[in-house]
Structure 1
């Protein structure tokens, strides 16, 4: 049956309880471009008539199955109330739609079936958020005019490092459709495993789909001692020749069924066969595809040899079968992280480079990409490559997927050469990077079009996608934790594209119960109202703000990690009268798989730091010393600075340009009143904050963007201030904020910073 699996997603939404929100709410994600509230409500009858023309048969069937999951039957004849699906040339845009909810009519109009489908998903969310079920039968009347800001709204899942079965992929596709994400980038092959059946080369899956446990598995096994989400999925472990091996693959029939399932939900699957690098799973089976030894170079694995014709025969045979399965107009060919040292040593490559007049191995990579691109285009497809391919000369027909966040000018170079570009920079769209309290905001506020893109080239930026690389993602629960709710933030950025983060974060609260019912093992929202390194003078009260009703904060004071069986933090607060360490976290009452961070708050007794009176005259701002040196930790900043700047606040000077560098900010901070101040330091790669000659925050690197917080007790007036920061390579983040009470951290006013005149 065409829609037999729809209940995997929608039936579980039937009895969602969203407490704390009005009955008629509009907590839609992504939020529509235009929503106008009308008078009255649409009341669902026990049976309803669904009308749609023949071109919309699939959408009509989808809607009927959706209504059935809410225990609403569809009738053959029109009654007093009906739902009407209608194609209309008046609605402009491939994915645009108009949704009208009147007291007796729900109407969805669009120019295409895709637009109709997204209107259905908005209706679906309205029904969920208004608790349509046995007891609740109405949704508010409204008019919505809606369309996406970007055509490419994507999610990439790597199934090579760790494997996920078809059932999970279908659930993932359902979730993408629910949030109007329309592209599923399917990373099918890499060094660690070949996951797609190729009938011409059965050994690719007979051997290449399985491996003995590797160093990434070992890391997961160690982490699993404290977090069961890191346990290697036992379904994909078997014994062969007396050894445990891990892996799996998809048959072509399974993939065709997955493609059809996704198409019903208007999700396009884009397959990736990564080449010429990241091919260890293939070349280990067919060593003739390289020239020389197979193994690992300084950074990456031995790539395919671009100077052997049998390599192109192999690639074309593989691509022919891949293309026969996936109807997407795109094929992703990788072209990233190619270790070219084996080519430099190859006599075959030296001879070819001389024969073809190539100056370096980058041109050899370009030659390979051109050859593969021709194969793809001969089959009527378009090629996508990672932005590494820009290092050589590639023609503008290739779509560039930008990931190297530290190469900030790559999107500009791509559009200058007229490449279509998909944005997926490491920060903030590598969802395997561990999420923290700033992650949602960073995703929501990301720039899809960088400021340096000329106005006449912005149309080449097609959208963005989040990437989940699975080196440390061995389970479905771990994948869910990293994907959600961040994917909802990306969904709204790419569809709505408006700067309304606080409004989004309030609406998101209504979606956590929805995710619970969908069995998503998401990351619970952050707790706030405290600093990880806290101080008190006489006594204090730890007051934790819990954003979700129905979930309790459990805590310990003996150093052990809290669980759902630990004591509940009474009234979300605790009196502090002596130095102590408290560990706590948010837990679901119903045993849901969702998880939150475990927080460790250290309380130390302190005194108010005495304000100082500098002997020299002061001016506004801070001194900033720039150290142009390879560095990844604050502790390694050494020697005399290469440049000195005056900055008005904690910001990286525009002149501080280097792959790796260190900064030392120095001066005074003037606080307006005596009190205990909380500071939040987010940095990538490392930072240390000192105020009144006291260490307030230790956020030493190297690491991706992480926020840490600390407190300091200050008298009103001036206090010595120092912040050390390092950028270790890969794109930096530096943000310092403060608060005195509550969760809302603020930017520090420029007027608070002063330095001695020199």
Structure 2
């Protein structure tokens, strides 16, 4: 009997413990608060919950809660109204706190009885409301009424404030037009994650998207194009979709969007490109070009030679345009582009050369600087500041210009050292048009590789700057260029959830970032996206394959995911993996025989992403040391598993993560074997895509070393042979036992006059080097 009582007691204690564990509070907030102190209990919203504005709180603060109230009304059927009758329970109390450092700072204290919010300005109350929204069950984002849900938030105390004043997200609507509804949804998502800048890229070669009433042809003609290239820019020959496409925003629609954003504490910065990326404008008004046209709105992507001329009439035109833009947008900034402006037309233009003489300019780079400075001076007279891409540094920087550093961080560092303000947006971490997964099933992108974790790892404050120079780093921004995003669904797929990593990097100090904690919060956000109807990417769950050297097998494949707590199952015989396939527990040998590895990621028995699928080729170079040395003595190395010897053939488009690219002097590649190898075949695989200035080498000579010190040639392959073989150079020999092999690369060099890109230096893209 005593044993029976003990068993009952044990069971009861177990149930209590289980219940307590199940009720443990979770705080899935992105961006994570600066300081959060969890506590026990929950606050429950119900029909009687009210909003109370404390003494001195502006009545407009009630508007800061409109999204939260709308969500509670739609999904929960609860009406939260303002009631200034003093209450101590079931109430959200807002108090003024002028001692807080920033206008966006807030303090949020949640107890079972009440929610107390302190802020200095309405923006702080708005961000506190977004935090409450994220603490509510994810079903709060439902567009329909949800029943049988406890609408509660966990108790805690939060003291929160952003590290950067500028937290931006960009959208290019020129390459592919976005509807008004899509733009508003975009702003909704910016606001949810406490970003505060929407950079609206409104003009480019492929479309002019803003109504300018003084120049109606800008939208009548410049907003539409008759064809759009299909496939990747590097594909050749070109293929076309001859469907007429385009669109633009009227000034009334733009005012509507500006008001919509302002309600959500989002500032819109318009971008009007100049002096380059002007083809759509010049197709409408060719008289403002150097050559006079005619032009058509571009259906290709890239950089084009026809830019705005520097004649006085052009400046009159641009000033008229900026008059209307400045009158529409309340932002203190207007972005004028300034990037990727070829100087070809200016060099041949009499008017531009005369302008250079009149202004005492030594070259066309200084002419561009003159152009930018003149526009800055004009906008300054209208109370506006300019932002430009980091090319505006060339030829001398306008004194009050803000630099948007996209070609790495060097431009931002240089500008900050000169005393100019900077927004960091380096392409290698902040370009959301880059691939976010290595899976071949990913939709076509421009190239590159920026997964969620790479966005999160970005450090916005360069170590090279001094404390005094840091003050010029206003913040960071991610860019969404839409050349390869023709539909709304595809744009959403490329943006979400990477924007969450941007938000946290922009909000938190570097010391407070924690990817492990962030990755545990992402699934909750993705569930919210599901209720919102967003087409977010599942790349977070996709399998990442990395090849690493292995002493026994030469090379092994390691599989992982960005998401925590995942299970991986795989096959190596080409069959599709299932939940019953072998469980991945460690590296898979991939260099001793040709195999196809397929793998899936699972959570709670559910497949979470498309399968990983990779073919590995037999290669004795796998896992071996690679030494790359150019004729100028620069040396770099890969210690096995790099993309030159990872047993994986490079895929197109060029610029993907699986190619080794180089542009420079002649060079050598040496493979150092860990032990002597018997070989009979060497293959050097390169790309030969002349339309993008990528050329196989002019010549490759192959060498072997049997003693590890002296080399002898075993053959060479010329460019014409490689071009005919899709970039492949191959030599064979009778079996030889060697310690090293070397390839001497004679670069193709400057593109000749009769080729595309004449006069430009060629580039080399290599993958794979195969030894058999």
Q: TM-score, normalised by structure 2?
A: 0.70
Change in Cα spacing, 1:427 to 1:585, as seen in structure 2 (3 Å) is same
User: For residues 70-94 of structure 1, what are the alpha-carbon distances to aligned partners after superposition, in whole Å with 9 as ceiling and x for unaligned?
Assistant: 4222256556311122332022212
CA distance, structure 2, for counterparts of residue 342 and residue 610 of structure 1: 50
**Equivalent position SS for 1:99:** strand
Native 8 Å contact 1:273 1:334 kept in 2: yes
What's the CA shift for 1:199?
1.2
**Which aligned pairs between 1:256-655 and structure 2 lie closer than 5 A?**
256-292=255-291, 294=293, 300-405=303-408, 408-436=409-437, 439-497=451-509, 498-524=512-538, 525-528=540-543, 568-570=578-580, 573=583, 581-583=596-598, 596=609, 598-602=611-615, 626-627=629-630, 642-643=632-633
C-alpha distance in 2, partners of 1:298/1:110? 46
* Counterparts of 1:442 and 1:333, CA distance in 2: 29
Is residue 73 from structure 1 mapped to residue 79 from structure 2 by the alignment?
yes
- Output the CA distance in 2 between the equivalents of 1:440 and 1:339: 34
Offset, 1:354 = 1.6
- After superposition, the Cα gap between the structure-2 partners of 1:220 and 1:27, relative to the gap in structure 1 and judged at 3 Å, is farther
Tell whether the 8 Å contact from 1:35 to 1:145 is kept in structure 2 after alignment: yes
Q: Using the alignment, how far apart are the partners of 1:178 and 1:108 within structure 2? A: 18
Relative to 1, partners in 2 of residues 1:543 and 1:398: Cα closer, same or farther, differing over 3 Å?
Answer: closer
Greater shift, 550-559 or 163-172, is seen at 550-559
Match of 1:54 among 46, 50, 59: 59
Aligned equivalents of 1:548 and 1:668: distance in 2? 24
Does 1:182 pair with 2:182?
A: no
Aligned counterparts of 1:339 and 1:568: Cα–Cα separation in 2: 53
Matched-pair contact (CA < 8 Å) for 1:401–1:424: yes
SS in structure 2 opposite 1:522? Answer: coil
For 1:165, the equivalent position in structure 2 comes to 179
How far apart in 1 are the matches of 2:193 and 2:82? 30
Structure 2: distance between partners of 1:496 and 1:722: 49
Aligned to 2:28, the other structure's residue is in SS state coil
2: distance between equivalents of 1:156 and 1:170?
A: 13
Q: Among 105, 110, 115, which residue is 2:114 paired with?
A: 105
Equivalent pair of 2:433/2:494 in contact (CA under 8 Å): yes
- Report if aligned partners of 1:153, 1:491 keep a CA contact under 8 Å in 2: yes
**Larger Rg over CA atoms:** 2
* CA shift in 2, pair 1:346/1:667, >3 Å: closer
Deviation, structure 1 residue 507: 2.0
Q: Deviation of residue 337 (structure 1)?
A: 0.8
Q: Distance in 2 between matches of 1:509 and 1:668?
A: 32
1:192 deviation in Å? 0.5
Matches within 5 A, 1:696-715: none
Q: For structure 1, which runs of at least 5 residues remain unmatched after alignment?
A: 1-19, 224-230, 238-242, 612-621, 629-641, 644-655, 657-661, 670-676, 704-718, 732-758
| Contact kept in structure 1, 2:548 and 2:557, CA below 8 Å | no
Give SS of 1:39's match. Answer: strand
Measured on the aligned residues, the alpha-carbon RMSD in Å equals 5.0
Deviation at 1:730?
A: 14
Distance 1:332 1:725 in 2: 47
SS at match of 1:422: strand
Which residue of 138, 157, 161 maps to 1:143? 157
Using a 3 Å threshold, how does the CA distance of structure 1 residues 23 and 293 change in structure 2: closer, same or farther?
farther
For the residue of structure 1 that corresponds to 2:529, the secondary structure is helix
Alpha-carbon spacing, 1:244–1:61, altered in 2? closer, same or farther (3 Å): closer
Higher relative contact order (CA closer than 8 Å, sequence separation 6+): 1
Q: In the alignment, is the contact (CA less than 8 A) between 2:103 and 2:120 conserved in 1?
A: yes
**Which whole-Å CA distance do the structure 1 matches of 2:623 and 2:602 have between them?**
41
For residue 49 of structure 2, give the secondary structure of its aligned residue in structure 1: strand
Contact 1:685 1:702 in 2 (8 A): no
Distance 1:425 1:153 in 2: 14
The whole-number CA distance in structure 2 between the counterparts of 1:251 and 1:481 is 28
Q: CA deviation at 1:469?
A: 0.9
Deviation at 1:686, TM superposition (A): 4.9
In structure 2, stretches of 5+ residues that fail to align are 1-20, 439-449, 649-655, 663-668, 690-737, 750-760, 764-772
Shift of 1:536: 14
Deviation at 1:220, TM superposition (A): 9.3
Shift of residue 127, structure 1, vs aligned partner: 0.7
CA distance 1:54–1:723, change in 2 (3 Å): farther
In terms of mean alpha carbon deviation, does 133-142 or 468-477 score higher?
133-142
Judge conservation of contact 1:27–1:129 (CA < 8 Å) in 2.
Answer: no
Q: Residues 22, 81 of structure 1: CA spacing in aligned structure 2 closer, same or farther, 3 A cutoff?
A: closer
Cα-to-partner distance string for 1:201-244 (whole Å, 9 max, x where unaligned): 111111111112232x4549999xxxxxxx99xxxx9xxxxx73
Whole-angstrom distance in 2 between the partners of 1:98 and 1:701: 57
Superimposed CA distance per residue, residues 631-687 of structure 1 (whole angstroms, 9 cap, x where no aligned partner)? xxxxxxxxxxx43xxxxxxxxxxxx5xxxxx63457999xxxxxxx99xx9777459
| Counterpart Cα distance in 2 of 1:169 and 1:725 | 53
Q: 1:434 to 1:68 in 2, by over 3 A?
A: same
Which residue is equivalent to 1:707?
Answer: none
> Are residues 1:122 and 2:136 paired?
no
8 Å Cα contact 2:549/2:641 also seen in 1: no
Cα separation, partners in 2 of 1:606 and 1:291, compared to 1, 3 Å = closer
Residues 721 and 570 of structure 1, relative CA distance in 2, 3 Å threshold: farther
Equivalent runs, 1:210-221 vs 2, <5 Å:
210-215=224-229, 217-219=230-232
For the Cα contact (< 8 Å) 1:528–1:546, is it kept in 2?
yes
How many residues end up aligned between the 2 structures?
623
Check if 1:91 corresponds to 2:100: yes
Once residues 668 and 74 of structure 1 are traced to their aligned partners in structure 2, the CA distance between those partners, rounded to angstroms, is 59
In the alignment, the residues of structure 2 paired with residue 610 and residue 356 of structure 1 have an alpha-carbon distance, to the nearest angstrom, of: 59
Aligned to 2:215: 201
**What CA deviation, in whole Å up to 9, does each residue of 1:567-590 have, x standing for no partner?**
84436749999975354556999x
TM-score by length of 1: 0.71
Between stretches 265-274 and 440-449, larger displacement belongs to 440-449
Q: CA deviation at 1:532?
A: 7.4
Distance 2:571 2:220 in 1: 50
Q: Residue in 2 aligned with 1:663?
A: 636
TM-aligned CA distance change 1:99 to 1:298, over 3 Å: closer
Shift of 1:165: 0.6
Three-state SS of the structure 1 residue aligned to 2:537 is coil
CA contact (8 A) 2:570 2:581 kept: no
Q: Check conservation: 2:569, 2:581, Cα contact below 8 A.
A: no
